[in-house]
C-alpha cells in the first residue's frame, strides 16, 4: 500500500509538472538534489581516502566528519554563536574586517570561522587571534552536517564568496537559521557551469536570507541562477577594506631579513602558478640590463612548489635563495632571486616593492587579487586571465593604477618602461591607492545588512 501511495503521489506530481512550469523546475531541483546525495555517498570512500592520505588534512578529519572539539556543545548551548565559513586563505583574509566588525557589534556572541584548508586555518589563527575560534567545515554528508549543527547551534550562518554546500544549507534552512552570503561573486566559468543545473542551484539558493554580492554582474548572475531578487544586494568587495601594512614600520626589518640593501629595487611576483615563473624569470633577466640593482622575489601560490621554482631560477643562470634559508645570512650584492616559501609574509612585502606582478593571470587560473599591492600604492601588472577580479582589473587599468598585458612576451618591455620612468611609476601607484580608497565601505554596508537580517 505504501509503495502504491508513493507511486500515485509521483504520478500526480508528474502530471502537475507538465501543466505548471514552476512546479516542473521545483521537481527537477528535488530530483537533482537526490542525485547529488547519491553521487556524494558513492564518492565517500574515495574522498575519505584522499583526506586520510594527506598529512595536512588528517589532523582535521575528525572535525570534517562533524565531531567538533569536546565541550563545544555545552559552551554553545546559549545560542549566542555566529558561524562564518571561509573556504581557504583568500576568503579568510577577505572576511577578517567583517568578523572584527561583527565582534564589536555583538560582543556577547562567540564567532566561529570554519575553513576547508590548512592555509585557511593558519590565516584565521594569525589574523583573528582571540576574536574568533577556528573549526574545520564538515563534509557535506547529512550526518556530518547534522552533528556539527547540533554542536554549534548558530543563530546565524555566514558564508564567503559563493561557497555553496547543498546539504549544509538545506539543514540550516530547516532549522530556521538565517543564512547570509557575503562578498559573493560568480566567475564566468562557475556561472556557466551552475547555469546548466539552474533548478538545483535555485533550490540551494533558497536557503539564503541575503546574498550580498560584489558587483552588478554578480547580482545579475545569482538572480539568474534563482536567488530571490528581494534578498540580493550589491555591497562591494570586502577586500577593499583590508588593513594595509605600514611600509614605514616594516621596511627596515624586512629588507634586513631578506638581505636587501636600501638602494636596491624589488620586483615582486606574487601568487604565481606553473608556467608563470619561467616568464617572470626570463623577464627579470632582460630587465636587469636597464635596472641592474633589481632583486626578484617570487612567491609561488603553493609554497610546496618552492624547490621547483628554485630549479627554474638556476636553469636561467640566476643566483637563487630560499626565504627560510636566508636567516641572518647576507647574500652578496647583485642580481638574485628570493623564493618565498613562507605563509602570510607576502602582504608585508608589498609596501617595500618597486613594482608588482600578480600571478594566476598569465595562465587561465582567473587571477589573484591585485588589491593588496594597489592599497600600498604600488603599480600592479597582470596578465589577460583576471576573470575572478574582472571589475577590479578594469578599474585599475582605466584609472591608470594598473597595466594589463596580453601575454608573457609583453612583460619585459612593460617592466623595463616602468622601472625607467620612476615619475610614471609613482603616479600609477598613487592612482592605484586612490582606486582602493574610493571603493571602500563594503564592510560597513555588509555588516548593516547582516544586522537587519538578525533583527528580523
Q: What distance in Å separates the CA atoms of residue 344 and residue 127, rounded to the nearest whole number?
A: 10
For residue 131, CA distances in Å to 110, 117, 183, 238 come to: 8, 20, 20, 18
For residue 177, CA distances in Å to 99, 143, 207, 374 come to: 18, 18, 9, 38
**Cβ neighbour number for residue 144 with a 10 Å cutoff:** 19
Taking each helix axis from N to C terminus, what angle separates 277-287 and 411-420, rounded to the nearest 10 degrees?
40
Contact (Cβ atoms closer than 8 angstroms) between residue 187 and residue 366: yes
Whether 91 is a known active-site residue: answer yes
Q: What distance in Å separates the CA atoms of residue 274 and residue 172, rounded to the nearest whole number?
A: 39
Residue among 91, 161, 277, 372 flagged as catalytic: 91
Contact (Cβ atoms closer than 8 angstroms) between residue 362 and residue 275: yes
What contacts 293, CB < 8 A, 6 or more positions away?
263, 264, 265
Contact (Cβ atoms closer than 8 angstroms) between residue 218 and residue 191: no
Q: What distance in Å separates the CA atoms of residue 206 and residue 184, rounded to the nearest whole number?
A: 15
Known catalytic residues are 91
Amino acid at each position: 500500500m505504501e509503495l502504491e501511495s508513493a507511486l500515485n503521489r509521483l504520478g500526480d506530481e508528474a502530471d502537475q509538472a507538465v501543466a505548471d512550469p514552476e512546479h516542473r523546475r521545483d521537481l527537477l531541483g528535488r530530483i537533482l538534489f537526490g542525485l547529488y546525495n547519491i553521487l556524494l555517498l558513492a564518492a565517500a570512500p574515495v574522498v575519505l581516502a584522499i583526506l586520510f592520505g594527506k598529512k595536512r588534512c588528517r589532523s582535521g578529519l575528525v572535525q570534517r566528519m562533524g565531531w567538533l572539539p569536546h565541550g563545544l556543545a555545552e559552551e554553545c548551548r546559549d545560542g549566542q554563536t555566529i558561524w562564518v565559513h571561509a573556504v581557504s586563505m583568500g576568503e579568510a583574509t577577505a572576511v577578517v574586517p567583517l568578523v572584527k566588525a561583527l565582534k564589536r557589534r555583538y560582543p556577547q556572541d562567540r564567532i566561529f570561522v570554519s575553513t576547508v584548508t590548512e592555509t585557511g586555518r593558519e590565516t584565521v589563527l594569525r589574523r583573528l587571534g582571540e576574536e574568533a575560534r577556528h573549526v574545520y567545515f564538515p563534509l557535506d554528508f547529512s550526518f556530518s552536517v547534522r552533528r556539527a549543527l547540533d554542536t554549534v547551534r548558530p543563530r546565524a550562518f555566514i558564508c564567503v564568496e559563493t561557497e555553496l554546500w547543498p546539504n549544509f544549507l538545506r539543514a540550516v534552512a530547516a532549522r530556521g537559521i538565517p543564512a547570509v552570503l557575503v562578498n559573493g561573486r560568480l566567475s564566468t566559468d562557475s556561472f556557466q557551469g551552475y547555469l546548466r543545473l539552474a533548478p538545483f542551484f535555485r533550490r540551494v539558493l533558497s536557503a539564503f536570507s541575503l546574498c550580498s554580492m560584489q558587483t552588478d554582474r554578480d547580482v545579475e548572475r545569482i538572480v539568474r541562477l534563482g536567488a530571490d531578487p528581494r534578498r540580493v544586494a550589491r555591497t562591494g568587495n570586502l577586500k577593499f577594506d583590508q588593513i594595509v601594512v605600514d611600509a614605514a614600520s616594516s621596511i627596515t626589518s624586512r629588507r634586513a631579513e631578506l638581505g636587501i640593501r636600501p638602494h636596491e629595487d624589488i620586483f615582486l611576483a606574487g601568487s604565481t602558478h606553473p608556467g608563470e615563473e619561467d616568464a617572470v624569470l626570463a623577464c627579470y633577466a632582460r630587465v636587469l640590463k636597464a635596472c641592474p640593482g633589481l632583486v626578484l622575489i617570487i612567491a609561488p601560490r603553493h609554497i610546496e612548489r618552492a624547490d621547483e621554482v628554485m630549479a627554474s631560477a638556476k636553469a636561467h643562470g640566476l643566483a637563487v635563495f630560499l626565504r627560510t634559508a636566508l636567516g641572518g645570512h647576507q647574500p652578496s650584492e647583485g642580481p638574485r632571486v628570493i623564493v618565498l616559501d613562507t605563509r602570510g609574509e607576502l602582504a608585508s612585502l608589498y609596501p617595500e616593492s618597486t613594482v608588482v606582478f600578480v600571478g594566476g593571470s598569465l595562465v587561465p587560473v582567473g587571477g589573484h587579487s591585485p588589491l593588496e599591492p594597489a592599497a600600498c600604492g604600488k603599480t600592479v601588472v597582470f596578465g589577460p586571465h583576471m576573470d575572478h577580479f574582472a571589475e577590479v582589473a578594469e578599474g585599475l587599468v582605466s584609472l591608470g593604477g594598473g597595466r594589463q598585458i596580453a601575454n608573457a612576451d609583453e612583460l619585459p618591455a612593460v617592466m623595463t618602461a616602468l622601472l625607467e620612468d620612476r615619475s610614471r611609476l609613482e603616479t600609477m601607484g598613487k592612482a592605484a591607492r586612490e582606486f582602493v580608497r574610493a571603493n571602500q565601505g563594503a564592510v560597513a554596508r555588509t555588516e548593516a545588512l547582516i544586522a537587519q537580517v538578525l533583527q528580523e
